[in-house]
């Protein structure tokens, strides 16, 4: 069988650039090389594109961008041509592509921007398309759409840059402290602050505005966070539900990538019936946002047993220790099997 060329995109001009390098490394190392040939496309933090031919190690220590391993590259804009154009000094060469696998986190990659470009040139995309990716990054619109399906969401309000802080103060007094201040469109907990009083509000809002033009004030949900890996287009399968155990605070950037004082339990320490409910809720959310391929749906489980939507990650972490592969592994699927299925789904 002839191998398919998979364009693996990594890096990107996003605060989550370094996270992407780790995830892309996991994807590259776990691809089935008997079926797929990875064509590595690195995007610098300034937005320059390169065809990368060096080792995975250079991704992990962020030394990949160098003249020895990189050639400037662009996608052919001609629909259906599906080629990567290498802009070499001696002339233009090209590599044919069969599937695009964006392994980019956050803005300018996970938010529908790259997906739109890939769909424009006619290259099949592994994972969610333009609209679902954009909705997944927009916490406000995702919450509103999901709530129409009867899934409970946290109470929240959106602040624009030209709105007086008094609106935020009034909402905060209404729902009470602690509460969360978040950029509407950002990931990996960048710009998020958990505040316990009015005196912290102004600084938290200013921080969140550094990452987006809109800021979300959201009620604190008592309980703990659970997640569910979803895989599929029409017919969906799920991984085992996981549970985040915190010693205090919230699951911020440090805890997500070091687990310094927290722990992740897979399967979650909950009843089988509650796990089944969470899986069905995850599928409902996945469909409501028009997801395809794969996504990780994060929810809260309250002490009363209520399941509340938190967010959906349309390109979750893909290292060997990331939550999505971990949940699928607990359900009996190896990392390689999951990646193979994701790529098969892209061609459906």
Active-site residues, by number, are 16, 188, 257, 296, 298, 311, 313, 317
Q: CB of 83 within 8 A of CB of 94? A: yes
If we measure between CA atoms, which residue out of 122, 140, 112 comes closest to residue 291?
Answer: 112
Dihedral sign of CA atoms 131, 137, 140, 145 in order: positive
SS3 string of the chain?
CCCEEEEEEEECCCCCHHHHHHHHHHHHHHCCCCCEEEEEEEECCCCCEEEECCCCHHHHCCCCCCCCCEEEEEECCCCCCCEEEEEECCEEEEEECCEEEECCCCCCCCCCHHHHHHHHHCCCECCCCHHHHHHHHCHHHHHHHHHCCCCECCCEEEEECCCCHHHHHHHHHHHCCCEEEEECCCCCCCCCEEECCHHHHHHHHHHHHCCCCEEEEEECCCCEEEEEEEEECCCEEECCCEEEECCCCCCCHHHHHHCCCCEEECCCCCCHHHHHHHHHHHHHHHHHCCCCEEEEEEEEECCCCCEEEEEEECCCCCCCCCHHHHHHHHCCCCHHHHHHHHHHHHCC
Please count the other Cβ atoms lying within 10 Å of the Cβ belonging to residue 69. 17
Q: What is the rounded CA–CA span in Å between residue 50 and residue 67? A: 10
For 318, residues 6+ apart whose C-beta sits below 8 A from its C-beta are 23, 24, 26, 27, 103, 324, 325
């Amino acid at each position: 069988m002839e191998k398919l060329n998979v364009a693996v995109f990594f890096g990107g001009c996003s605060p989550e650039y370094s996270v992407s390098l780790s995830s892309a490394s996991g994807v590259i190392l776990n691809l089935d090389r008997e079926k797929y040939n990875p064509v590595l496309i690195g995007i610098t933090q300034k937005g320059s594109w390169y065809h990368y031919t060096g080792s995975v190690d250079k991704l992990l220590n962020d030394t990949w961008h160098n003249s020895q391993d990189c050639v400037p590259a662009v996608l052919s804009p001609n629909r259906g041509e599906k080629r990567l154009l290498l802009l070499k000094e001696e002339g233009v060469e090209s590599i044919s592509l069969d599937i695009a696998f964006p392994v980019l986190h956050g803005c300018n990659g996970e938010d529908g921007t790259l997906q739109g470009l890939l769909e424009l040139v006619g290259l099949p995309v592994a994972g969610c398309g333009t609209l679902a990716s954009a909705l997944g990054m927009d916490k406000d619109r995702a919450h509103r759409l999901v709530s129409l399906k009867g899934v409970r969401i946290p109470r929240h309000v959106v602040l624009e840059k030209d709105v007086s802080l008094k609106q935020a103060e009034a909402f905060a007094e209404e729902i009470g402290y602690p509460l969360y201040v978040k950029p509407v469109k950002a990931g990996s907990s960048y710009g998020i602050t958990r505040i316990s009083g009015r005196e912290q509000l102004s600084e938290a809002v200013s921080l969140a505005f550094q990452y987006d033009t809109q800021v979300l004030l959201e009620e604190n949900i008592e309980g703990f966070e659970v997640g569910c890996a979803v895989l599929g287009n029409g017919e969906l399968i799920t991984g085992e539900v996981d549970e985040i155990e915190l010693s205090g605070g919230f699951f911020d950037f440090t805890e997500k990538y070091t687990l310094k004082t927290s722990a992740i339990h897979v399967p979650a320490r909950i009843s089988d019936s509650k796990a089944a409910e969470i899986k069905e809720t995850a599928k409902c959310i996945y469909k409501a946002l028009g997801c395809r391929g794969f996504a990780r749906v994060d929810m809260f489980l309250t002490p009363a047993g209520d399941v509340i939507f938190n967010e959906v990650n349309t390109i979750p972490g893909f290292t060997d220790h990331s939550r999505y592969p971990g949940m699928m592994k607990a359900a009996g699927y190896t990392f390689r099997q999951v990646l193979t299925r994701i790529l098969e789904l892209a061609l459906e």
